[in-house]
């Protein structure tokens, strides 16, 4: 039991702290928001601690990043995770629902963050309210220069001795950038957004990039003080639809 708890703590620390060029838990240049403005947002949690973000697709299905379910390249047990939906806070209120199963893209490459997308089936259905709503999938990638919104519960301040994470959700406006502005690009399957002053960081992984109330991207990678790399939802739209339709 001690070993299991210790491994769980290590996994949580890894997901929260991230690694170089991994998405990190920080909304840079963000401002406070209420969940009613982003009712599709959920917090994936391990042992009561925020690990990643996600977006409600239907009352029992969440879209997020595939790498959220790995620790040092090793797949974590799906049953370690629960989601908190319908809450501005990552610590209280809303609804907690256990994860039933996670379907990763079959060509996901952990080391490269290629095809970094996953569909998650919940153990029970969500009840839709003003705080809990699905978000439709965008059908085409945005043009460079388009403004977007990203929300999350990520880290907002860090020094050698201190890490500060917000309890309540933050949102940031990000401008879509040409692909070569990000550290890596995988063609139409990824989107680049933000800059050194407005971006995401450790723990915003799996969160949604939204334009015109449609899900356009899933936070995947990038540095804290550099543009954010996102998985393109329009590119993987058919895969998402086929995967959700095939789930029991």
The active-site residue out of 116, 189, 204, 226 is 116
Active site residue 181: no
* CA distance between the termini of the chain: 33
Spatial CA neighbour of 134 closest among 63, 195, 69, 193: 63
The active-site residue out of 43, 189, 205, 220 is 205
The active-site residue out of 50, 55, 67, 204 is 67
Active site residue 105: no
Question: What residues are paired with 92 via a beta bridge?
Answer: none
What are the two backbone dihedrals, phi and then psi, of residue 95, each rounded to the nearest 5 degrees? -125, 130
Q: Where are the beta strands (DSSP E) in 88-235?
A: 95-104, 118-122, 147-152, 157-158, 163-164, 170-177, 190-193, 199-202, 208-211, 214-221, 228-232
Q: Are 27 and 152 in contact (CB under 8 A)?
A: yes
Active site residue 116: yes
Query: Cα torsion at 221, 215, 245, 105 (round to 10°)?
Result: -10
Active site residues: 67, 116, 205
């Amino acid at each position: 039991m001690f070993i299991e708890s210790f491994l769980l703590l290590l996994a949580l620390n890894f997901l929260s702290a991230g690694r170089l060029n991994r998405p990190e838990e920080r909304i840079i240049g963000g401002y406070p928001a209420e969940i009613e403005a982003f009712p599709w947002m959920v917090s994936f949690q391990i042992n009561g601690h925020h690990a990643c973000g996600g977006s409600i697709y239907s009352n029992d299905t969440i879209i997020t990043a595939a790498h959220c379910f790995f620790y040092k390249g090793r797949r974590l047990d799906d049953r370690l995770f629960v989601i908190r939906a319908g809450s501005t806070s990552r610590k209280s209120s809303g609804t907690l629902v256990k994860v039933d199963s996670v379907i990763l893209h079959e060509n996901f490459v952990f080391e490269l963050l290629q095809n970094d997308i996953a569909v998650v089936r919940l153990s029970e259905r969500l009840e839709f309210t003003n705080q809990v709503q699905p978000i439709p999938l965008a059908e085409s990638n945005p043009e460079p220069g388009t403004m977007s919104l990203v929300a999350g519960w990520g880290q907002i301040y860090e020094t050698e001795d201190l890490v500060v994470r917000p309890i309540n959700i933050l949102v940031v406006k990000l401008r879509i950038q040409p692909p070569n502005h990000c550290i890596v690009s995988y063609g139409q399957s990824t989107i680049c957004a933000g800059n050194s002053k407005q971006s995401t960081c450790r723990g915003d992984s799996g969160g949604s990039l939204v334009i015109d109330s449609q899900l356009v991207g899933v936070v995947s990678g990038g540095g804290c003080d550099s543009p954010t790399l996102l998985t393109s939802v329009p590119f993987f739209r058919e895969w998402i639809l086929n995967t959700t339709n095939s789930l029991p």
